[in-house]
Amino acid sequence: MIEFSIIIQLYSIEFDKIQFDKCLLNIISEVNDVDRYDVAIIGSGPAGLSAAINAVIRNKKVILFGNENLSNKLLKAPKINNYLGIYDISGIGLKEKFLEHVKHMNIEIKKERVNSIYSMGEYFALSVNEKMYEATSVIMASGVEFSKPLNGEEKLLGRGVGYCATCDAPLYKGKVVTIIGYTKEAEEDANYVSELAEKVYYLPMYKGQVNLKKYIEIIEDKPLEILGDDKVSYLKTYKDKIKTDAVFIIKDSVAPSQLVPGLLMDREHIAVDINMKTNIEGCFAAGDCAGKPYQYMKAAGQGQIAALNAVGYIDKIKLNK
């Protein structure tokens, strides 16, 4: 398989990054024998797990992206009494039952961060760290993003703002890069980028010791705004203004609107119909990311609906071929 860190160096002229990414993914798909899944599910909370279980029961090839905690919200719940059939259980206890269920069904949770998802017509291409996956349909079950984007973040996305440092770092060889890290894992990205960039600034948005190479400059400050006209020029913080060529924002997950270009949103939620369909053909959404109420049983039910409709969509495509 061709790695993004190698092939992305072909990107030497300035044009729309989304179109470039789609062309790149198409090239990789043609050059490599990329394994295609029936359903790719983003998120390992109740909605994502329910979707995976129901798709597997219907003999679909599933890839599920999530994390070892399944759902941070679930982990923090002291007591749950409204999950049918399971009375008086903690969030951790329910998590263990979920894990036991998916283990019995041989469903693996890929602990990798999905950076972007593009509709390629008959399939979806998923950029995951430096790898690529393909799926006929996608189910978004990534939860709800409560934090607002920085001023200038959406405007300059693809013009110096990015969410995958390891993917885009070769574009900034010999330049100045700033990384805003919301998780410890972002430190690995910063260390990698420092091998290519002339200068790396790192803003840790979490508590605890930071383990970085000695020539990375740590800035104990909070970001306010990303500045620039047609590309990133500065990152404004509470205390300073940092001159930089790129700003990478590294979180556990990327907001749906930034993850899937063209995805229709209803404020902070993904807009869906009664069948959990989004405005993009073959893309479905379930759980908290699809709207209130933020309830575990509601999420699980929507995950099932999304999976059943994704199965119907896939079967229709196969029938017409």
DSSP class per residue in 72-98: HHHHH-S-B--BTTB-SB-HHHHHHHH
Whether 161-250 and 4-145+254-320 are alike in CATH topology: the answer is yes
Answer for the pair 192, 165: CB distance below 8 angstroms, yes or no.
yes
> Over 70: is that where the pLDDT of 7 sits?
no
Per-residue pLDDT at 168: 83
> How far does Cα 287 stand from its chain's mean position?
15
Average of per-residue pLDDT across 94-105: 96
Map tokens 């209803």 to a residue. 266
Average of per-residue pLDDT across 112-130: 89
The Cα-based distances of 214 to 88, 174, 206, 266, 290 in angstroms read 49, 18, 19, 44, 43
**213-216: long-range contacts, CB 8 A cutoff, minimum separation 24:** 216/190, 216/191
Query: 17-21, 221-225, 296-300: lowest mean pLDDT where?
Result: 17-21
Domain range 4-145+254-320, CATH class: alpha beta
Per-residue pLDDT at 141: 97
What does the domain layout of the chain look like in residue ranges?
4-145+254-320, 161-250
> Over 80: is that where the pLDDT of 19 sits?
no
* Per-residue pLDDT tens over the stretch 243-293: 999 999 998 777 898 899 999 999 889 999 999 999 999 999 999 999 999
Domain range 161-250, CATH class: alpha beta
pLDDT band at 231 (very low <50, low <70, confident <90, very high): very high
> Over 90: is that where the pLDDT of 66 sits?
yes
> Over 70: is that where the pLDDT of 4 sits?
no
**Residues in contact with 64: Cβ distance below 8 Å, sequence separation at least 6, in sequence order:** 41, 44, 48, 49, 52, 107, 108, 109, 110
> Over 50: is that where the pLDDT of 36 sits?
yes
> Over 90: is that where the pLDDT of 52 sits?
yes
> Over 70: is that where the pLDDT of 6 sits?
no
> Over 50: is that where the pLDDT of 8 sits?
no
Q: What is the pTM of this model?
A: 0.79
Per-residue pLDDT at 128: 87
| Residues in the chain, overall count | 321
CA-only gyration radius of the chain, Å: 20
Type of residue numbered 48: G
